[in-house]
Amino acid sequence: MITIYGIRNCDTMQKAIKWLNAKKVKFTFHDYKESGIDKATIELWLQHFPLDKLINTRSTTFRELSDKEKAVIIDKAKAIALMMKCNSLIKRPVWDLGNGKFFLGWDEAALTRIIS
């Protein structure tokens, strides 16, 4: 089963959920604003995505960080701690497609090829 991670009120997440429902794809949604996100999950994602891609540097949350906080994202352990604290920093959605396969972000054409 597919699990998508994100924030319920995010426009991109809403597109992804609507798309999955229209395709009648079974999925689980993990809202990390409500349920949080743990270190092990972020570490797993970092085995599949570079740190600079997993952190959404275009987000309002990132722009509101102090220069000191922004500087820690080059250190993996500190970046993980920051993502756990400020989970809005994580690019959305993160797709766990099962069987060790992951996808980051929203690309309808790519997802159609992967999921169909």
Q: Which amino acid is at 86?
A: C
Number of Cα atoms under 13 Å in the Cβ half of residue 65: 23
φ, ψ (nearest 5 deg) of residue 61: -60, -45
The catalytic residues are: 10
State the residue for tokens 């999955």: 20
